[in-house]
Chains A and B, each alone.
Chain A
């Protein structure tokens, strides 16, 4: 019995040793070629070899499309293939930026572009602000020891898992003329509202739905940030008789700033790129009340009978430039604000 008892342990050791040898042999395989490469490549050039596959993928799928985008922006016509497109210089940019009064899109050569610009700016300002406020409030509540905390955390995160098209369709069923919301209002004796046909309401719902769909993600980031703040700081503040508001203002907010900046930058980039949910929900309507920049790019480049790829590419470059500028300004502001 005793020998039998030890046998499996000995067998286990044997197997472990064999696996160890095999692992060593496999891992040792590249040693020689790597040493040879190190001997031939001086300085930090071996690092390039390691990042080369990633760089290749990045180059082909990110950098090359940017270069192609520049070419399309500088060419005209409706031809798809780059070599068939006539060079027009800055004509597409000129056309997009030609406006008698930038505040009045109807005075612009490309009015839809400027409707998109102003709607996007309005959307970003309101949506990002509200998103941060609600995400922060939700994270603060979910960080407390409340009953059913796990359930609430999952419930707030759940919409993030849904496809934007599903999100938009769900809300369309709720908000359309004969939708659930109007049925409820009418059932309670009220008058239904044409939520998606009234310009102001449609804009409001585009923001609401976007916040509902994405808030969980940002809440999660802020929750992680809150949990990283050491509890003893709060204990010390409590002993100093600091009020909850003072603790929040003097401790929580400053220590949460890095997380808030991440949320701000990510939220802003996502808000500037808003398209899918709103396109399915309102189609950009009523009129042009919820046409955003990405929809202009999509409609101009892909949904029109005669596709104006050059204009769409120029629009996307202007959008990218604006995004870059915003992000740099935020980072600069963050550096200035850093202790």
Chain B
């Protein structure tokens, strides 16, 4: 081999060895409600085939790590490039505005605008910080088999929380169950029914004002239901602070008649209950002000400390395109945050008949969400409202404090957290 050819071969070999080292690594901290991270991983393999210069590493972590560890990692400068998160407000300082790297920012604003606003810091902010990967909605799910056994008719559309409480109580008594209903232990879960009873959560000037008549009314009902056994108080009382606890296992085991949770439970409902008993999504019971639950949803957000902002934006843009986004929704069984796909029903879900009906129930519930619920969900420090709500209502249910003391403490906790956040 001539000397020149040998040199060329050597150089080519060197380049090939160096190739993987030149690839941009994107590390993602991902939590799953159902199968989101495995689905993301599978589809990312296709992305990497099409973009060999990008290497995607997905770390599947528990939700608690997203809430507790990720903020510390980001503050310490050791965060991932992308994270799947829900509590947007406190992480907002770390978000990367991807607008300069996106081919068509207008498309993002048109299709994901409503949820992109949750990632922004006020109305003036027009940045695009992440890809909303689901729209969630809280709603009631009932065990229809128990209603049939008890020979109690399901309350119809427009029935109030009082109507539902009376009905599930009848069913529980007839079927010898200890409780009629269970709500996830979460201030977010409580907020929807409170808004239905007139809670506004904000003053007209936009500052938080949690304790109003609507909030008090719903809290009073909730406490009364916990005391008379209509609601399973164990779910709320068996923990302290703002800690989350769901009541899925109680519902799965046929121990409660009505479970108040949300659309993110769909996969578990289908996979873990299946046809064990008849269940259905009945939307949100009404109050005098609305028949609303709370919206929500996780987003893949980009973090500004990434060394590969262009690759990060390219990756999320790849998933944002209608066909791929529809596939992701289909795989994960989530309601799309993409307005166009949600409106035209493009997403084809491979669901059982009960699952399909449940999905329709959740979509219908999403259409009835009140503007106050969207406003609260978009508030930067909404978790500073949700956590004290769960903590203090639990203490009142446990009998440690009165409801009035709980209201005073919630107001103080919210004010205190906001004052701490404002201290520079």
Which residues from chain A sit less than 8 Å from chain B, CB to CB? Answer: 76-81, 86, 88, 106, 111-112, 177-178, 194, 196-197, 199, 282-291, 295, 299, 302-308
A-B contact pairs, 7 of them (CB 8 A): A76-B420, A79-B75, A86-B423, A196-B238, A197-B234, A287-B237, A305-B87
Of B72, B381, B398, B424, the contact of A287 (CB 8 Å cutoff)? B398
Contact A305 B383 (CB under 8 A): yes
Q: Which residues of B contact A295 (CB under 8 A)?
A: 240-241
Alpha-carbon separation in the docked complex, A303 to B76 (Å): 17
Segment touching A, from B117-125, B136-144, B320-328, B399-407 = B399-407
- Within 8 Å of chain A (Cβ to Cβ): is B306? no
Q: Which residues of B contact A305 (CB under 8 A)?
A: 87, 89-90, 242, 381, 383-384, 387, 417
Q: Which residues of A contact B401 (CB under 8 A)?
A: 106
Q: Which residues of A contact B409 (CB under 8 A)?
A: 111
- Within 8 Å of chain A (Cβ to Cβ): is B356? no
Report the count of interface residues on B (CB-CB < 8 A). 39
Contact A306 B381 (CB under 8 A): yes
Contact A287 B75 (CB under 8 A): no
User: Count of A-B contacts with CB under 8 A?
Assistant: 105
Contact B420 A306 (CB under 8 A): yes
4 residue pairs, one from A and one from B, having the closest CB atoms: A287-B398, A284-B240, A283-B239, A80-B75
Q: Which residues of B contact A285 (CB under 8 A)?
A: 237-240, 394, 398
Given contacts A78-B420, A305-B87, A308-B420, contact A287 B243 (CB under 8 A): no
The minimal Cβ–Cβ distance linking A65 to chain B, given in whole angstroms, is: 15
- Within 8 Å of chain A (Cβ to Cβ): is B207? no
Question: What secondary structure prevails in chain A residues at the interface with B?
Answer: loop
Which chain B residue has the least Cβ–Cβ distance from A296? B241
Q: Which residues of A contact B233 (CB under 8 A)?
A: 197
Contact B420 A287 (CB under 8 A): no
- Within 8 Å of chain A (Cβ to Cβ): is B46? no
Which chain B residue has the least Cβ–Cβ distance from A305? B383
Contact A287 B384 (CB under 8 A): no
Most buried by B among A194, A282, A307: A307
Contact A287 B241 (CB under 8 A): no
B240-258 Cβ-contact flags toward A at 8 Å (1 or 0): 1111010000000100000
Q: Which residues of B contact A283 (CB under 8 A)?
A: 238-241, 243, 245
- Within 8 Å of chain A (Cβ to Cβ): is B71? yes
Given contacts A287-B398, A305-B381, A305-B383, contact A77 B241 (CB under 8 A): no
Alpha-carbon separation in the docked complex, A308 to B241 (Å): 14
Q: Which residues of A contact B387 (CB under 8 A)?
A: 304-305
Contact A284 B421 (CB under 8 A): no
Alpha-carbon separation in the docked complex, A281 to B330 (Å): 38
Q: Which residues of A contact B75 (CB under 8 A)?
A: 79-81
Q: Which residues of A contact B400 (CB under 8 A)?
A: 199, 287-289
The minimal Cβ–Cβ distance linking A122 to chain B, given in whole angstroms, is: 15
- Within 8 Å of chain A (Cβ to Cβ): is B317? no
Q: Which residues of B contact A194 (CB under 8 A)?
A: 234
Contact A80 B399 (CB under 8 A): no
Alpha-carbon separation in the docked complex, A307 to B394 (Å): 21
B2-17 Cβ-contact flags toward A at 8 Å (1 or 0): 0000000000000000
Which chain B residue has the least Cβ–Cβ distance from A88? B423
Q: Which residues of A contact B424 (CB under 8 A)?
A: 77, 86
Q: Which residues of A contact B149 (CB under 8 A)?
A: none
Alpha-carbon separation in the docked complex, A106 to B405 (Å): 8
- Within 8 Å of chain A (Cβ to Cβ): is B395? yes
